[in-house]
Amino acid sequence: MSHTGTAYSNPENARCAGKIMAEDETQFACFTAEISDAIQKVWKDPAVQKLYERRSEINLNDSSKYFLENLSNINRLDFTPTPRDLIMSYVPTVGVQNVIFSAGNRVFQLFDIGGQRIDRRKWATMYDGIDAIFFCIAISEYDQVMVEDPGTNRLQDSLSLLEKISNEPKFKNTPLLLFLNEIDVFREKLPLFPLESHLPGYKGSSNRIAVYLLSDYFTSYQYRS
The DSSP secondary structure of the chain, one letter per residue, reads -GGGT---SSTHHHHHHHHHHTS-TT--SPPPHHHHHHHHHHHHSHHHHHHHHTHHHHT--TTHHHHHHTHHHHSSTT----HHHHHH------SEEEEEEEETTEEEEEEEE--SHHHHTTGGGG-TT---EEEEEEGGGGG-B-SS-TTSBHHHHHHHHHHHHHT-GGGTTS-EEEEEE-HHHHHHHTTTS-GGGTSTT----SHHHHHHHHHHHHHTTTT--
Alpha-carbon distance 6 to 61, whole Å?
19
Contact call for residues 167 and 225 (beta carbons, < 8 A): yes
Is 143 annotated among the ligand-binding residues? no
Q: Is 141 annotated as a binding residue?
A: no
Residue 116 annotated as binding? yes
Which amino acid, 217?
Y
Beta bridge partners of 100: 109
182 annotated as belonging to a binding site for a ligand: yes
181 marked as part of a ligand binding site: yes
62 among the known binding-site residues?
yes
Q: Annotated binding residue at 63? A: yes
49 is in an annotated binding site: no
Residue 220 among known ligand-binding residues: no
Residue 109 assigned to a binding site: no
Per the annotation, binding residues for Mg(2+) are: 93
Per the annotation, binding residues for GTP are: 62-63, 112-116, 181-184
Per the annotation, binding residues are: 62-63, 93, 112-116, 181-184
